[in-house]
Copies of this chain bind each other. A is one copy, B any other.
Amino acid sequence: MVKKYVFGTPIETDAVVKEIKETSWKDDIFQKEGNAFHYLLKTDEIVYGLGENVRGMNKRGWRYVSNCSDNPNHCEHTNSLYGAHNFIMMGDGANETYGLFVDTPGTVTFDVGYTDIDRLSIAMENENYKIYLIEGQTYQDVVREFREMIGRSYIAPKWAFGYGQSRWSYETADEVREVVREYRKRDIPIDSIYLDIDYMERYKDFTINRDSFADFENLVEEMKKENIHLVPIIDGGVKKEDGYDVYEEGKENGYFCKDENGEDFVIGVWPGKCCFPDMLNDEARRWFGDKYRILIDKGIDGFWNDMNEPAIFYSEKRLKKVFDKMEEYKTKNLDVNTFFEMTDLIGTISNNPEDYASFYHNYKGKRYRHDQVHNLFGYYMTRSAAEAFERYQPEKRILLFSRASYIGMHRYGGIWQGDNMAWWSHLRMNVKMMPSLNMCGFLYTGADVGGFGADTTEDLLLRWLEFAVFTPLLRNHSARGTRKQEVYRFSHIPKFSSVIGARYQLLPYIYSEYMKAALRNTMMFNPLSFIYGKDNLARQVEDQLLVGENIMIAPVCEQNVTGRVVYFPERMKQLVFKDGIIEEGNIFEKGFSYVNMPMGTVNVFLREGYLLPVAKGGKCVEDIKFEDLKLYSFGEKIKQYEYYSDDGETTDFDMESHIRILK
């Protein structure tokens, strides 16, 4: 059951698509106090949700602030990441479970037992917001009800479930060719190469750098023949440059965000000075979305939207302020207080709240200062592309995912989990974030495997891949200045080949589970508590997941070990994927067991009585024979499996014939 409460005059976000009648507020499990809501936490109560955030699946013990932020060095004390996902779940997961969604594009703080270890407090920055309170029996009930409210999740093309290689940046067409050649010659499967900012002419959206990608159209064609999709990046800011048609059109038609005087607001991002298209404005959004066609017409069928929190390196105003202040410091005898003032000043040039409060949108016929609608920018940028694709090629799926997001955007595209680091702790975070994102509607997602920032290591990349072969988005990506991390650069290449190969054997199951999660509003990645809710030990496990309901995974997220302790909430059988061969391992009884999992193997734990369909694999998704499956199972009674399979290209998701029963 969903109750909807409206406070003040909320700004519409289009997050909720279902008609729900408004109710008036009465304190019950939540006590209202100003713009805050308090809830008493029971000792062992778990708090789930909040999508893209640091820390555990159980969000207790920290304060999270929904405020889309570009923070590439995020650590445990980070309060805001790239997304704003205001959905949270409490209760026992068995008899009384609650979900709460705060629908407002402004800042929301979730204090989950931080200030007071026994209390959850949710506070809104201003008095205009909607609250949806869902009551259900189990966690899964509440998730399903919430997901029905917010509408069907974006569905990616099947090829986008292949392995992708990325780097900031492959700077020339030949470099792209070389990477593909290195993979192909070693028979390591791959389906896509990502193009970071340098494919553009001086970082101008929808342009091609013709010095380094002279034959871009041919490259796209040539790659397509090899079953490689090129996936270019699109940034949230448009370069301010006379004669650049996108800029000129935006300027002429008034499509850019304005400053307080009605002038185009100018900020610095990759290309230097830029303007932000007013993604919230219907007309501007339609115009910007249509631009993607420039690349689609060159054969491109996938995009990633970046810098759309939106990230601001600097504003002209701020820069001037800094220079003026530096002038002052120069003349002073710099003591330590003034010194830190100075370094702080420089440290807060980028993404400054003052700048976010200095420009304006025209949204649904009204003028809004950006900070009031901040969390919608990435969402509406991605929506602009998705709506254009729908106009242009309504029957074809196009890959689309974003860095920034808000709930509602899940209908238009996936997300990657932001600019992470080559840290073992970020591998762990990747594991824990999957179910949190699923709860919020984000199904097509994954992290930058191996880590984006900082130097990776061979073992970290291998272990990360061993987990990531289960995530819909499977992309190895790294930043400029860090160690190169294409898998063929390391010592034990066959191990990488073995792990990535397993993805292509597992894909029928992974894709089927993804599609069912999207079509039925269920979880693709389940915390153990979602299936074994009455098992107190299972409820505390955060480094194991059920992929769908048939298999459990227990990723090795620690350095220098050859296995780990796994909690088996029931009898399960180990399947070891190694060098294309699937070895049926031990059967483990309920309880804790140490399981050997050497690097270079992918380990699956099959539930007793459940099926796992496995294909022969392939060098790309196109190669995989989705109907030539081997079925693994053990136990006496085997539950039949609803297998979803379609062409992976068109949008006729709902045809009944896509489901067939395996047994």
Copies of this chain present in the complex amount to: 2
Which residue of B60, B118, B459, B561 is within 8 Å of A491 (Cβ)?
B118
Among A327-335, A440-448, A505-513, which stretch is in contact with chain B? A327-335
- Closest chain-B Cβ to A428's Cβ sits at a distance in Å of 9
Chain A residues numbered 272-313 whose CB sits less than 8 Å from any CB in chain B = 272-273, 313
A609 vs B423: C-alpha distance in the bound complex, in angstroms? 41
* 1/0 contact string of A553-581 vs chain B (CB within 8 Å): 00000111111010100000000000000
Among A263-271, A465-473, A520-528, A627-635, which stretch is in contact with chain B? A263-271
A569 vs B76: C-alpha distance in the bound complex, in angstroms? 32
Known contacts being A323-B330, A349-B343, is A76 close to B455, with CB within 8 Å?
A: no
Q: Quick check: is A454 within 8 A (CB to CB) of the other chain? A: yes
Q: In the complex, which residue of chain B has the Cβ closest to the Cβ of A594?
A: B592
Interface of A is mostly: loop
A46 vs B560: C-alpha distance in the bound complex, in angstroms? 8
CB contacts (< 8 Å) of A423 on chain B: these are 75-77
* 1/0 contact string of A473-505 vs chain B (CB within 8 Å): 000000000000000001110000000000000
* 1/0 contact string of A405-448 vs chain B (CB within 8 Å): 00000000000000001111100000000000000000000000
Contact A77 B335 (CB under 8 A): no
Contact B491 A335 (CB under 8 A): no
A114 vs B458: C-alpha distance in the bound complex, in angstroms? 8
CB contacts (< 8 Å) of A542 on chain B: these are 558, 560
A558 vs B329: C-alpha distance in the bound complex, in angstroms? 45
- Closest chain-B Cβ to A527's Cβ sits at a distance in Å of 12
Contact B560 A60 (CB under 8 A): yes
- Closest chain-B Cβ to A171's Cβ sits at a distance in Å of 15
Q: Quick check: is A346 within 8 A (CB to CB) of the other chain? A: yes
- Closest chain-B Cβ to A165's Cβ sits at a distance in Å of 20
Q: In the complex, which residue of chain B has the Cβ closest to the Cβ of A460?
A: B61
Contact B336 A537 (CB under 8 A): no
Contact A594 B425 (CB under 8 A): no
Chain A residues numbered 311-349 whose CB sits less than 8 Å from any CB in chain B = 313-314, 319, 323, 326, 329-330, 333-336, 339, 343, 346-347, 349
Contact B116 A491 (CB under 8 A): yes
Known contacts being A77-B423, A117-B458, A269-B336, is A540 close to B561, with CB within 8 Å?
A: yes
CB contacts (< 8 Å) of A425 on chain B: these are 76, 425
Contact A56 B560 (CB under 8 A): yes
A607 vs B56: C-alpha distance in the bound complex, in angstroms? 33
Contact A559 B58 (CB under 8 A): yes
Q: Quick check: is A44 within 8 A (CB to CB) of the other chain? A: yes
Q: Quick check: is A593 within 8 A (CB to CB) of the other chain? A: yes
CB contacts (< 8 Å) of A453 on chain B: these are 77
Q: Quick check: is A146 within 8 A (CB to CB) of the other chain? A: no
Contact A421 B330 (CB under 8 A): no
Q: In the complex, which residue of chain B has the Cβ closest to the Cβ of A593?
A: B592
CB contacts (< 8 Å) of A323 on chain B: these are 326, 329-330
Contact B560 A540 (CB under 8 A): yes
* 1/0 contact string of A76-108 vs chain B (CB within 8 Å): 110000000000000000000000000000000
Contact A334 B272 (CB under 8 A): yes
CB contacts (< 8 Å) of A116 on chain B: these are 491
- Closest chain-B Cβ to A403's Cβ sits at a distance in Å of 18
Q: Quick check: is A370 within 8 A (CB to CB) of the other chain? A: no
Q: Quick check: is A62 within 8 A (CB to CB) of the other chain? A: yes
A77 vs B116: C-alpha distance in the bound complex, in angstroms? 33
Contact A421 B75 (CB under 8 A): yes
CB contacts (< 8 Å) of A330 on chain B: these are 323
Contact A339 B326 (CB under 8 A): no
A49 vs B354: C-alpha distance in the bound complex, in angstroms? 48
- Closest chain-B Cβ to A435's Cβ sits at a distance in Å of 15
A380 vs B349: C-alpha distance in the bound complex, in angstroms? 40
A329 vs B320: C-alpha distance in the bound complex, in angstroms? 11
- Closest chain-B Cβ to A490's Cβ sits at a distance in Å of 7
A559 vs B57: C-alpha distance in the bound complex, in angstroms? 10
Contact A594 B313 (CB under 8 A): no
Known contacts being A349-B343, A490-B117, A491-B116, is A560 close to B334, with CB within 8 Å?
A: no
A366 vs B312: C-alpha distance in the bound complex, in angstroms? 52
Nearest first, the 8 closest Cβ-Cβ pairs linking A and B are A77-B454, A272-B335, A76-B423, A346-B346, A58-B560, A117-B458, A323-B330, A540-B561
7 A-B pairs in the complex with CB atoms less than 8 angstroms apart: A61-B459, A76-B421, A77-B421, A117-B491, A268-B334, A268-B339, A542-B558
